[in-house]
Structure 1
Amino acid sequence: MDLLRSHGIHTGSRKGLHAQRRGNSLRRSHVDLEVIIPAYNEAARIPGTITQTADFLSGQPWSSRIVVVDNGSVDGTGAVARRLSREAGTAVPISVIGCSRRGKGAAVRRGLLSGTSRFTGFFDADMATPLETLTVAMSHLEEGAAAVIASRHAPGSTLVRPQQLGRRVGGRAFRALTRTKVKGIFDTQCGFKFFERDALTTAMVQCRATGFAFDVELLLRLQHQNARIIELPVSWTDGAASTFRPIHDGFASFASVIQLQSRCHD
């Protein structure tokens, strides 16, 4: 119970979690796929992200919804997204929810656990990974994969616009650390991950990380379930306006990952 409460899920049992999900489903009608977009101070960028995503999804064979999670923004991100949701057509509905607990992991968890679609996942508002990757991801999920993640470092991937030197150096060190935790995965941090609902929920309710180490813990939990994870090499473009702060967030992420091994055996 304490673990669920630490995630902002105030319930006494797993049964309570299912009740919460049923309550959320009353607010969001069922679709095949929900695309979660965590957003912190993205008022300038979110209109283009939503428009491009909706245009792409409207041409796909599966029904879908965009869910923007406003992670305590102070620049009107939520208001901008809600305006777009009111103006949107019915082909791809747009929902906007809030997450007062800071951290990308907290925002992603809020979005993923609040739906009931068979498939769900998230990508960053900077759209660094091509939208077309979602078509390939869905084909793998429909064939039985538990998770499909984009990778900037798997064989066959390319960097259209690389990160700045400081972030590249920090990224190499972080990947060296995560390889000791998440076996066989080249890139745990690419902001594009999609899942089959049941496998995701089982792993997600155990996760405690709320920051940039959230991805590592989620993948590690999935591996402990022997879930099949597909890593897709992509052509990736660095987002110049990333909210990641190399020094502050980097140290916090390293510390969180170092604690994972003992935490995941609790």
Structure 2
Amino acid sequence: MLCYMALVLFAPVPREPRRSEKQYITVLPNGERSEPRELPCWIDKWTAEKEVSKKRTGGKRRETLAKIALEEPELFMSVVVPAYNEEERLTGMLEEAVDYLQQEFAGRGWEIILVSDGSTDKTVDKALQFAREHQLSKHRKSVSGPWKDHLKHEERIPEGSIRIVELEANRGKGGAVTHGMRHVRGKYVVFADADGASRFSDLGKLVEGCERVEDDRGRGVAIGSRAHLVGSEAVVKRSKLRNFLMHSFHLLLRLMTPPATAAIADTQCGFKLFSRPALPYIIPYMHSEGWIFDVEMLMLAESGKIPMVEVAIGWKEVLGSKLNVVWDSLGMAWGLAVLRAAWLTGVYKRD
């Protein structure tokens, strides 16, 4: 009983979005910054429909979830980018993302939802400047990203393709990702780190992997993985302490998570793709807002019997990481223990 009460007190509870956080800004055709606009929110409509459906089915959850209609996608690919004080690294990542999205999905539609997580630098200004340049200028100067040099875009991006959401206060990476995913319009949704460490052109591999494993309801998750790089020079050159903490965390994951999640070699890579029908089984039930949020997403996918596949991607170290190796590793271990205990004891539960 005491343990349960302690969990109730200490288990994270995500705060409700504030009014301004349900809005976005973008760049107008004349290059000006738009006034705040309302974000579409599939989850609000889905939740309302769920309550009606629960009454019809007598509260049978599985039957309820299976019968709730989800809004149809308006475009093919949504990209959620969490960003906290990323003015130095953001532009390179966006260059490579837009280059790939325009090449592969221009005809089917795409969007980038950049969630500024209480940034105090010029992250938002940089994103607006990037959107302005790419909407107004057809032939821009050659630029470079983390993975590619001499990128030169030959066409303008559609108006409003880049939407910027400003969180009033920092919530953590997990909170920013979850918030962005509440407002996506795509058939597929990927979240990608703002530093560009994951090779964005490997998004096609994630789509192929997800399509391959999707169930008869179209649900699937593709997990970008760096596990194949464990013996690479980039990992070997890391400090002994960092590698020790990494292996210790992986051991904890295997011991403390359910089988399908425990079998995933790399749960923490910031490059994961979800099919739209998978979202209602995951996003409404998220609690973790820190670094451990990836694990909760995968555990929720597993409990919802959503097929998952791990896909090898390109990845490189990018200078400027905000991860404190020791303290954040300890925080992740504590977060994992609280997360698992909260779900096992019913402190967290699907309604």
TM-score category of the 2 structures, normalised to the smaller one: 0.7 to 0.9
Tell me the residue number matched to 1:24. Answer: none
Q: Give the Cα–Cα distance (whole angstroms) in 1 for the partners of residues 176 and 192 of structure 2.
A: 12
Q: Give 1:16 shift.
A: 7.0
The answer to whether the aligner puts 1:188 opposite 2:188 as a matched pair is no
Partner of 2:222: 148
Per the alignment, residue 161 of structure 1 pairs with 234
Aligned positions, number: 253
Write the distance in 2 (CA, Å) between the matches of 1:170 and 1:256: 15
Map of 1:61-140 to 2, 5 A cutoff? Answer: 61=105, 62-89=108-135, 91=157, 93-99=161-167, 100-140=169-209
Pair 1:250 & 2:316 matched: no
Structure 1 position 142, deviation (Å) = 3.3
Which residue pairs with 2:60 in the alignment?
none
1:88 deviates by 2.5
Question: CA contact under 8 A between 1:159 and 1:236: conserved in structure 2?
Answer: no
1:118 counterpart SS class: strand
Say which SS state the counterpart of residue 315 (structure 2) adopts. strand
C-alpha change, 1:157 and 1:229, in structure 2 (3 Å) is farther
**CA–CA distance in structure 2, aligned partners of residues 175 and 221 of structure 1:** 19
Counterpart amino acid of residue 166 in structure 2? G
**Alignment correspondent of 2:14:** 6
Give the AA of the match of 1:8: E
Distance 1:46 1:190 in 2: 18
- Map of 1:214 onto structure 2: 293
Normalised to the residue count of structure 1, the TM-score between the two structures is 0.85
For 2:184, what is the secondary structure of its paired residue? coil
The answer as to whether partners of 1:158 and 1:235 remain within 8 angstroms in 2 is no
Choose the corresponding residue for 1:55, options 94, 99, 117. 99
Deviation string 1:96-115 (CA, Å, 9 cap, x unpaired) is 11223420000111111111
Measured in 2, the distance between the counterparts of 1:254 and 1:40 equals 23
Describe the shift of the 1:168–1:239 C-alpha distance in structure 2 as closer, same or farther (beyond 3 A). Answer: farther
Unaligned runs of 5+ in 2: 1-10, 19-40, 49-72, 136-155, 347-351
Offset of residue 263 of structure 1:
2.1
Residue range with higher mean Cα deviation, 220-229 or 240-249: 240-249
Q: Which amino acid aligns with 2:157?
A: A
Counterpart amino acid of residue 33 in structure 1:
M
SS at structure 2 position matched to 1:33: strand
For residues 159 and 200 of structure 1, the distance between their equivalents in structure 2, rounded to whole angstroms, comes to 34
Query: SS at 2:223's partner residue?
Result: strand
Q: Alpha-carbon deviations, 1:62-107, whole Å to 9, x = none?
A: 4211121111111111111122223323535211112234200001
Does the aligned pair in 2 maintain the 1:221–1:264 contact within 8 Å? Answer: no
**Runs of 4+ in structure 1 displaced over 3 angstroms?**
156-160
In the alignment, what sits opposite 1:264?
343
In structure 2, the partner of 1:26 is: none
Structure 2 distance, partners of 1:46, 1:6, is 26
State which drifts further: 92-101 or 236-245: 92-101
Q: What is the CA-CA distance between 1:20 and the residue it aligns to?
A: 8.8
Which protein is bigger by CA-based radius of gyration?
2
Quick check: 1:36–1:67 contact (8 Å CA) kept in 2?
yes
**In structure 1, what is the Cα distance between the partners aligned to 2:201 and 2:43?**
37
